[in-house]
Amino acid sequence: MPWSTVAVVVGSWILLLALTLLYYLVWSLHRDYGDGEEED
Amino acid sequence: MSAGTDIALFFGFGLYLLLMLVVGVVTVRYMRSLDDFVLGGRRLGPWVTAISERASGESAWFLLGLPGATYALGFAEFWSVIGIGFGILCSWTFIAVALRGYTGRAGALTIPDFLAARFPGHGLAIRGLATVIILFFYTTYLGAQFVGAGKILNATFGMPYAWGMVLGAVVVLAYTMMGGFLAVAWTDLFQGLLMAAVAVVLPVLALVHLGGWHGMLSSVAVKGPDFLAINAGKTGHAFVFGVMIGGLSWGFGYFGQPHLLTRYMAIRRIRDLRHGTLIAMGWVLAAYWGAAMIGILGVGVLGSSLADPEQVMPLMTRALVPPWIAGMIISGAVAAMMSTADSQLLVATSSLTEDVYVKMLRRGRPPDRPEFLVLLGRIATLLISAVALFLAFTNQELIFDMVAYAWSGLGSSFGPVILLALWWKRTTRGGALAGMIVGMVSTVAWQRSVTLQGILDIKAASFLLSVAAVVVLSLAGVGARVRKPS
């Protein structure tokens, strides 16, 4: 199986997972929910 | 197929249909106002929001079309999967929070509502144009889903094609009319989990059947080296603009699908979107790569000569699992169709009731009783289903042509406008109107011209042209709000 296929299919999966976790982490640390009235 | 197999298949499928109707009956008691009917009173938690958005986002294409494409073309089809994955993440990141915040403050129930609030003006042009785009694309898109139901039930159970379409339409119509948005969202939760389970379990079973990874590679060798190559054996312009950008551009569509964007608007609290993103992306990472692998593994399990590649999922299921489980797994494909059809039906309904009746026809008059508006919503649901079913009966080509067409049309008419309206303060009313018109017109033009399709993919071209129209007219100040001198 060509290495380029493995790199794109697996690499894109890992990159997407990493970006998702990064977004979740940044938001967790930031603690700003967009508008105060939504807090309860 | 033996009579026993038939009964077992029907039992699994019948159980699934019954569960959907029960949800409709249970949620009917929560329908007290139009807000309840079209947006569930903004009461959804992160799990229902996220899985409902995913189930609505993926139609019958997810378990039939995508495996069919990888079965026919091989690993190059993963460019579509990658584009879709990143498109979904970008939509949750750049649209969900901003849109929920804005529409919550403005009290907007629909996408035309949001656009009218963001670009206030005397005329009804922006609301009217948005409603026309929604009604046009969704009745045809919905018709395509009913055609999908007919084809799945015909191929699986041997049910007459027309009966399959009517059965699919009646079940969706019944629970949507009864329970409105809440019924749609809760049935989506079950349907979305079923779809993901199928996309994860089926490839694992197939891999075990073929004797692991090396067994799979040797069994797909019959398709030739291009099947395993990420460029499908193409180079230069044909690879970059045809294979790669053609696949990746599916992601653009997610910014402008009203039936997905309303999920963000319905979540209880903005902070729940943080968990919602994680849940939705978990679904994507587990299910999408798996759904694409069904087609690749299908070559090994079923051979390379299927007459209709889109039958690879149901046929592989029947080859690998006992009939009563197969009934439930094939229900996953019907679930994919229904969960998309119900959401589209509701968006079209809310456009007719909220945008056309309440905000255009009854503008400036005393509000109607909430019970009357819920009744009106139910009548509109019935009316739109009838039109969609009529289209399904009269146009059998619908599923192939109109799904991609409507995806591109909605994505490029609304996507750039919504994205820029939320993130670029200088976006003007004139720019928004131009973006919607250019997105719609360029989709129609590209669909009809083979020459244009050879230059750039329809989804990428119409999206980029729409972005250009919004930016140029906004910078030129067309339709900008005039401030009175103080």
| Chain A interface, best mutation among B44, B285, B299, by max A CB count within 10 A | B285
**Best mean pLDDT range from A15-19, B134-138, B443-447:** A15-19
- List CB contacts (< 8 A) between A4 and chain B: 229-231
Which carries the bigger pLDDT value, residue B15 or residue B112?
Answer: B112
Q: Which residues 285-324 of chain B have a CB within 8 Å of chain A?
A: 285, 289
The CA-atom distances, in angstroms, between B121 and each of B96, B133, B156, B241, B416 are 25, 19, 53, 40, 20
User: Quick check: B331 pLDDT over 80?
Assistant: no
SS3 A39: coil
Measured between alpha carbons, how far is B297 from B312 in angstroms, rounded to an integer? Answer: 10
Q: Write out the two tokens for B230.
A: 């990420």
For the segment(s) B3-402, the CATH number from 1.10.3720.10, 3.40.50.720, 1.20.1730.10, 3.30.390.10 is: 1.20.1730.10
pLDDT at B44: 79
pLDDT band at B486 (very low <50, low <70, confident <90, very high): very low
CB contact at 8 A, B297 and B206: yes
pLDDT digit string, tens, across residues B179-211: 677 777 778 888 888 889 999 999 999 999 999
Residue B273 clears pLDDT 70, i.e. is over it: yes
Query: Does pLDDT of B339 surpass 80?
Result: no
Most confident of the ranges B259-273, B292-306, B325-339: B292-306
Residue B412 clears pLDDT 80, i.e. is over it:
yes
B332, pLDDT greater than 80 = no
B positions 255-284 inside 8 Å of A (CB): 269-271, 274, 277-278, 281-282, 284
| CB nearest to A16's CB, from B86, B98, B229 | B86
Cα Dmax for chain B: 83
The yes-or-no verdict on residue B400 having pLDDT over 60 is no
Q: Partners of B267 in the beta sheet? A: B44
Q: Per residue, what are the HEC states of B26-45?
A: HHHHHCCCHHHHHHHHHCEC
The nearest CA of chain B is from the CA of A11 a distance in Å of 10
Mean pLDDT on B431-449: 93
Instruction: Output the pLDDT for position B465.
Output: 97
Distance from CA of A28 to the nearest CA of B (A): 8
Go through B219-253 and write b for each residue having 16 or more CB atoms within 10 A of its CB, e for each that does not.
bbeebeeebbbbbbeeeeeebebbbbbbbbbbbbb
- Taking CB atoms and an 8 Å limit, are B284 and A16 in contact across chains? yes
pLDDT in tens, B63-90: 888 898 899 999 999 999 999 999 999 9
The residue whose two tokens read 């799990």 is B47
Is B277 within 8 Å of A13 when comparing Cβ atoms?
Answer: no
Query: Poorest-confidence range of B2-6, B148-152, B154-158, B169-173?
Result: B2-6
Say if residue A37's pLDDT is above 80.
no
pLDDT at residue B2, rounded to an integer: 56
Residue B108 reports pLDDT greater than 80 = yes
Cβ distance of B274 and A27 shorter than 8 Å: yes
Position B309 pLDDT exceeds 50: yes
* pLDDT of residue A35 exceeding 80: no
**Which residues in chain B touch residue A3, judged by CB atoms under 8 angstroms apart?**
none
pLDDT at A16 over 80: yes
- What pLDDT sits at residue B397? 57
And the tokens for B357?
A: 């009746």
Residue ranges covered by each domain of chain B: 3-402
**Among B123, B187, B456, CA closest to B345:** B187
Instruction: Quickly tell me which residue has 């349907």 as its tokens.
Output: B191
Report the range of poorest mean pLDDT among B8-17, B56-65, B118-127: B8-17
* pLDDT bucket at B471, cuts 50 / 70 / 90: very high
Largest CA distance in chain A: 54
Mean pLDDT over all residues of chain B? 85
Tokens 């759904």 found at: B291
- The two counts, helices (H) then strands (E), for chain A are 1, 0
DSSP A36: G
- Nearest residue on chain B to A17, alpha-carbon basis: B285
Task: Choose the most confident range, by mean pLDDT, from B354-358, B368-372, B439-443.
Answer: B439-443
pLDDT digits (tens, 9 = 90+) for B220-265: 888 888 999 999 888 888 898 888 998 899 999 999 999 999 889 8
Measured between beta carbons, the chain A residues lying within 8 angstroms of B231 are: 4
Q: Encode chain B in three state secondary structure.
A: CCHHHHHHHHHHHHHHHHHHHHHHHHHHHHCCCHHHHHHHHHCECHHHHHHHHHHHHCCCHHHHHHHHHHHHHCHHHHHHHHHHHHHHHHHHHHHHHHHHHHHHHHCCCCHHHHHHHHCCCCCCHHHHHHHHHHHHHHHHHHHHHHHHHHHHHHHHHCCCHHHHHHHHHHHHHHHHHHHHHHHHHHHHHHHHHHHHHHHHHHHHHHHHHHCHHHHHHHHHHHHCHHHCCCCCCCCHHHHHHHHHHHHHHHHHHHHHCHHHHHHHHCECCCCHHHHHHHHHHHHHHHHHHHHHHHHHHHHHHHCCCCCCHHHHHHHHHHHHCCHHHHHHHHHHHHHHHHHHHHHHHHHHHHHHHHHHHHHHHCCCCCCCCHHHHHHHHHHHHHHHHHHHHHHHHHCCCHHHHHHHHHHHHHHHHHHHHHHHHHHCCCCCHHHHHHHHHHHHHHHHHHHHCHHHHHHCCHHHHHHHHHHHHHHHHHHCCCCCCCCCCC
pLDDT band for B41, please (50, 70, 90 cuts).
low
Band of pLDDT at residue B38, cut at 50, 70 and 90: low
What number is the average pLDDT over the span B123-148? 85
Task: Work out the angle at residue B65's Cα, subtended by the Cα atoms of residues B64 and B70, and round it to the nearest 5 degrees.
Answer: 105
| Interface touch A33/B271, C-beta < 8 Å | yes
pLDDT confidence tier of residue B307, bands split at 50, 70 and 90? confident
- Asked if B365 has any chain A CB less than 8 Å from its own CB, the reply is no
Per the CB < 8 Å rule, is B269 touching A38? yes
Instruction: Identify the pLDDT of residue B329.
Output: 77
pLDDT of residue A36: 47
pLDDT of residue B399: 57
State pTM to two decimals.
0.87
pLDDT > 90 fraction of chain B, expressed in percent and rounded: 36
pLDDT band per the 50, 70, 90 thresholds, residue B149: confident
Any residues with CB less than 8 A from the CB of B248 and at least 6 apart, and which? B79, B80, B82, B83, B86
**Among A29, A33, A39, A40, which would you mutate to test the B interface (most chain B Cβ atoms within 10 Å of its Cβ)?**
A33
- Report whether B393 contacts B162 (CB < 8 A): yes
